[in-house]
Amino acid sequence: MKEKVILAYSGGLDTTAIIPWLKENFDYEVVCVCIDCGQEEELDGLEERAKFCGASKLYILDVVDEFCDEYVMPCVKAHAVYENKYLLGTSMARPLIAKKLVEIARKEGATAICHGATGKGNDQIRFELGIKALAPDIKIIAAWRNDKWTLDSRESEIEYCKAHGINLPFSADSSYSRDRNLWHISHEGLELEDPANEPNYEHLLVLGTTPEKAPDEAEYVTISFEKGTPVAVNGEKLKVSDIIRKLNALGGKHGIGIVDIVENRVVGMKSRGVYETPGGTILYEAHQQLEELILDRETTTLKLDMGNKFAQIVYEGKWFTPLREAVQAFIEKTQEYVTGEVKFKLYKGNIIKAGTTSPYTLYNESIASFTTGDLYDHHDAEGFINLFGLSSKVRAMKHQELENTDK
């Protein structure tokens, strides 16, 4: 019997061409695995395509709820944002995909896992670190880094497929390189490769519209949270994946969550892309608004650092590490009392506060009010300032003393 290879299959031109390439160059039985993280219509016709191209079978695994509950939500709770803008849409999904590839490899008795990520990107790192952490004995084939891979363009891939009797509805005309799941869609390529160019939003956007074309009237939305997890929108109880779907529709309608960034990839180069994350942007903002009421000053300060660290861990593909587990444990502890409701309005790309409530709020009107209350004596501030500024005063006195001595 032939050895089996598990191919991470998206149905796109790259991974479609890899099927006959694996059979021709390695004499493997190719088992394709597509991990459904919410790609929607991109999954249409995949089984027929994979088998037509020579795969023995195709698994399509619906992991949307697992993706949202176990990978998206830790990032939301951490407020993990890479380089201040990127909400980690692609990064979040990769460790789960790697995990499922390994599970199918074990089930099928496969000796290798193949992916179609390029040698310039982050995904090769994320896939391979995940596979190495979960199955160090399984061989990894990175087609684009393999000496036997001689295809360097869409045209050459199409010709390769045709030479193997595969005629599929792929064209050589230029299009954006996209990655989609329930959380977001990313766009790279074409005019975006030059940072001097403005994105062609008319051609580019998939999940929503620009703020200029959004409705002229604001729309109010209320999200309810329990221990940092969203549980309802406008009073309707929903699971996390359905909340994200609902917020995607609302955010897309109002031009929310369109980000144009130049980011630093792990491999060292800069890359420009446009990300649409309408529901995710709303969820991050709502969660942060609620935390403002609940977390104390010291916890807030440390959580900002830990959130940045968590973003770096996820971006670099280090999900299956003790460090990720430790940082996530800290984040989970901070969410113990993050329960309440956040009301806001969506208007032309903006998320505008409209009231936040929590049974665990640390905001005390009697203390915070300009009116003198029973819990705060203005005179207490004098002693606090004296102590808080003592080191500064001592230092200034010393400098003054030295200056007088020198005269």
Which of the residues 14, 49, 180, 358 is marked catalytic? 14
Q: Which residues contact 266 (CB under 8 A, 6 or more apart)?
A: 122, 125, 315, 316, 317
Q: Residue 175, annotated ligand binder?
A: no
Q: Residue 205, annotated ligand binder?
A: no
Contacts for 72-76: CB closer than 8 Å, 24+ residues apart = 72/183, 72/240, 72/244, 72/280, 73/228, 73/229, 73/240, 74/310, 74/328, 74/331, 74/332, 75/310, 75/311, 75/314, 76/228, 76/280, 76/283, 76/284, 76/287
> How many structural domains comprise the chain?
3
Q: Give the range of the structural domain holding residue 144, as residue numbers without chain letter.
A: 4-71+90-173
Backbone angles phi, psi at 295, to 5 degrees: -80, 140
Quote the CA–CA distance of 33 and 3 in Å, as a whole number.
16
Q: Residue 122, annotated ligand binder?
A: yes
Residues 160 and 182 in one domain: no
Q: HSE of 138 in the Cβ direction (CA atoms, 13 Å)?
A: 33
Domain-terminating residue out of 143, 173, 203: 173
Is there a contact between 77 and 64 (Cβ–Cβ < 8 Å)?
A: no
Q: Residue 10, annotated ligand binder?
A: yes
Query: Cα 131 to the chain's mean position, in Å?
Result: 19
Task: Look at residues 341, 199, 207 and name the one whose alpha carbon lies nearest to residue 279.
Answer: 207
Is residue 313 in a domain?
no
Is there a contact between 346 and 254 (Cβ–Cβ < 8 Å)?
A: yes
Is there a contact between 85 and 259 (Cβ–Cβ < 8 Å)?
A: yes
- The pLDDT, as a whole number, for residue 377 is 81
Is residue 243 in a domain?
yes
Is residue 316 in a domain?
no
Task: Look at residues 152, 90, 89, 85 and name the one whose alpha carbon lies nearest to residue 127.
Answer: 90
137 is catalytic: no
Which of the residues 36, 123, 179, 180 is marked catalytic? 123
153 is catalytic: no
Q: Residue 299, annotated ligand binder?
A: no
Is residue 332 in a domain?
no
Residues 168 and 196 in one domain: no
Domain-terminating residue out of 157, 173, 189: 173
Residues 280 and 202 in one domain: yes
123 is catalytic: yes
Residues 233 and 378 in one domain: no
Q: Residue 209, annotated ligand binder?
A: no
- The pLDDT, as a whole number, for residue 373 is 63
Task: Look at residues 23, 29, 63, 18 and name the one whose alpha carbon lies nearest to residue 43.
Answer: 63
pLDDT tens string for the chain (407 positions)? Answer: 899 999 999 988 999 999 999 999 999 999 999 999 999 877 888 999 999 999 999 999 999 999 999 999 999 999 999 999 999 999 999 999 999 999 999 999 999 999 999 999 999 999 999 999 999 999 999 999 999 999 988 899 999 999 999 887 777 766 899 999 999 999 999 999 999 999 999 999 999 999 999 999 999 999 999 999 999 999 999 999 999 999 999 999 999 999 999 999 999 999 999 999 999 999 999 999 999 999 999 999 999 999 999 999 999 999 999 999 999 999 999 999 999 999 999 999 999 999 999 999 999 877 777 666 667 788 889 999 999 999 999 999 999 999 998 87
Number of Cβ within 10 Å of residue 366's Cβ equals 11
Give the burial class of 127: count Cβ atoms within 10 A of its Cβ; 0-12 exposed, 13-18 middle, 19 or more buried. Answer: buried
Quote the CA–CA distance of 101 and 35 in Å, as a whole number.
8
Is residue 41 in a domain?
yes
Residue 51, domain CATH: 3.40.50.620
Is there a contact between 51 and 23 (Cβ–Cβ < 8 Å)?
A: no
Q: Residue 14, annotated ligand binder?
A: yes
Q: Look at phi and psi of residue 82 and say left if phi exceeds 0, alpha if psi is from -120 to 50, else beta.
A: beta
Residues 117 and 198 in one domain: no
Residues 221 and 118 in one domain: no
Is residue 85 in a domain?
no
Largest CA distance in the chain: 95
Task: Look at residues 26, 34, 30 and name the one whose alpha carbon lies nearest to residue 57.
Answer: 30
Q: Residue 8, annotated ligand binder?
A: yes
Quote the CA–CA distance of 214 and 177 in Å, as a whole number.
26
Residues 47 and 183 in one domain: no
Is residue 240 in a domain?
yes
Is residue 106 in a domain?
yes
Is there a contact between 84 and 284 (Cβ–Cβ < 8 Å)?
A: no
Residues 101 and 223 in one domain: no
Which of the residues 56, 69, 154, 177 is marked catalytic? 177
Residues 135 and 221 in one domain: no
- The pLDDT, as a whole number, for residue 196 is 98
Residues 351 and 283 in one domain: yes
Residues 193 and 219 in one domain: yes
Domain-terminating residue out of 154, 173, 192: 173
Q: Residue 177, annotated ligand binder?
A: yes
Residues 277 and 155 in one domain: no
Token code pair at residue 250: 């609302």
Q: Whole-prediction pTM value?
A: 0.94
- The pLDDT, as a whole number, for residue 43 is 84
Which of the residues 94, 180, 245, 272 is marked catalytic? 94
Q: Residue 263, annotated ligand binder?
A: yes
Q: Residue 361, annotated ligand binder?
A: no
Residue 235, domain CATH: 3.90.1260.10
Quote the CA–CA distance of 7 and 17 in Å, as a whole number.
11
- The pLDDT, as a whole number, for residue 406 is 81
Which runs of E-coded beta strand occur in 206-299? Answer: 219-226, 229-233, 236-237, 258-264, 270-276
Quote the CA–CA distance of 66 and 366 in Å, as a whole number.
44
Q: Which CA distances in Å does 225 have to 41, 113, 263, 290?
A: 31, 39, 31, 9
69 is catalytic: no
